Amino acid sequence: MSEWAAWNESAIWSLSLIAITITIHAIGVVVIAAVAQHFSIEVVGRRYPFVGTHPGSVVTIVTVAMSLVVLHALECLLWAAAYVHLGALPNPAAAELYSVDSMTTRGASGFFLEKQWRMMGAAEAGDGMLLFGISTAFVFYLMHRIWRDDNVRGDGGGANG
């Protein structure tokens, strides 16, 4: 019965961390989208017409992608902090590497969680798939929007340029 209790505690931690990281990611994506929209409305064509060009579109996509990388890193750190707090891994460095490996579903760090916390690694991989899916969808939407706007302006840009 004690093994089931450990799995239950692992499941509670996993579901809590998944809920927190998805919330962080959703808020982050909304903030990034709002900043990108504000920037494109307030800046494009006013002070910095470069932003509306093809190189400017690349800079926008890279900036958004790097912002998403920061979100993913923060989410990995959250899982890593939980692993250290729970004693599932021996130190922060091991926990960070394990978390990045789990979040990206790579799983080759060479570290293993203590037996009662192993479900968390699998749960983090599932969380990572959801988070990376949200990021991918957002970047795809942004690229589609940029290319659509280029075509509307008559730049012939994006996918058709």
Q: Is 154 left (phi over 0), alpha (psi -120 to 50) or beta?
A: left
* pLDDT tens for each residue of 134-157: 999 999 999 998 887 665 555 544
- The residue count of the chain comes to 161
* pLDDT tens for each residue of 84-94: 999 999 999 99
* 133, 135, 138, 140: CA torsion to nearest 10: -70
In the prediction, which pLDDT does 99 show? Answer: 95
CA distance 143 to 75: 24
Domain residue ranges in the chain: 2-160
Residue located via tokens 């923060």: 74
